[in-house]
Amino acid sequence: MRVLVAMSGGVDSSVAALLLVEEGHEVVGATMKLWGGPAGSGCCSVADVDDARRVAQQLGIPHHVFNFTAEFEQSVVGPYADAHARGLTPNPCIACNAHLKFDRFLVRARQLGFDAIATGHHARVGWSNAARCLRRGRDVAKDQSYVLYMLGQDELSALLLPVGELTKAEVRALASRAGLRTARKPDSQDVCFIPTDGGRERFLGERIALRPGRLVTTEGQEVGEVGALELVTVGQRRGLGLAAPRARPERRYVVGVDLAKGTATVGRLEDLLVSRVVLQDVRWASGPPGPGAAVEAQTSAHGRPVPAHWDGEAVCLGQPVRKVAPGQAVVLYQPDGLLGDAVLGGGAAAG
């Protein structure tokens, strides 16, 4: 099988390529050049491209660089800034997966005659009811199925995830055994296009207007202000400059942001809890479950799934959870059976 491996310059994609070579496939590595601006501390740097190229040399496979900077700006960076300008909290990694890694990269692979693509994501491709499904990775702590919820049958039919059955420790052990230069390379943690100097505020301040806002309680009392309301997100506790009052010592969280009124509302933890989340831009792996179908809902990348059911418009949770910031993803999983870890689909929390 001819396989095009997306090599980010990290250890996971390096080992994905290694395993496919050892299985006897015709493997080619390709690194996507996505960000053309100042380098942040995430992926896509010149050093990452060099690491991917040198790992490919170690494995004896060809390596290419695909320049997708224009598409990245149009589909990821621009929408990221626009979402903040509308008071949303976007997830750029999910947008990158949807538009670049499993769209443009897959299209390019097919144009070049490859049978499949592969990535180093910690997730697995399986079968459920005669349809392809995405399953959690075996290493629960590193599972990345949450950020891949948008994959449908077309993408899953052409996708290999070689490290999905491995723990992170096993991945690093394989890389060390093969002498790969990425064996001890730390995982990237940050958004690749956010500069380390100035961070999110500087980046967004150069693209959208950042306006000050008032902090008000759920009773309407003004208790402070923030310098940039567009940077405030639902669920936020730190960075608000609020000291707990003596008469009310409990922590306070952002429970809502209203750009039109120029306010962010703060409240107690119980004010943040919800039992229903309306979703928009919903994507399903192989069709939606019927209204009332039992699911498990995960409301953050590393959150614990909770029992729920789908009512055709929203996730109705079996227990209260912290309110999901508008724009953030909620992913639904099969709740039981042999494939209780299978992704059914997901969408973004409505504003």
Active site members: 96, 192
CA distance 137 to 122: 5
Residue (of 60, 65, 61) closest to 45 by Cα position: 65
Collapsing DSSP to helix, strand or coil, 237 comes out as coil
Gap between the Cα atoms of 192 and 176, Å rounded: 26
Element (H, E) at 127: strand 123-128
- Amino acid 336 reads D
Query: Token pair of 71, please?
Result: 């598409």
The tokens of 218 are what?
């759920």
Tokens 């729920």 -> residue: 308
Tokens 């700006």, located at residue: 73
For residue 292, what are its two tokens?
Answer: 């009332």
Nearest CA to 276 out of 189, 349, 196 is that of 349
Contact 304, 339 (CB under 8 A): no
CA 187 to chain centre: 14
Could you tell me the two tokens for 156?
Answer: 């899953």
What are the angstrom distances between the C-alpha of 55 and each of 25, 60, 117, 149, 160? Answer: 17, 9, 18, 29, 19
User: Which neighbouring-strand residues pair with 11?
Assistant: none
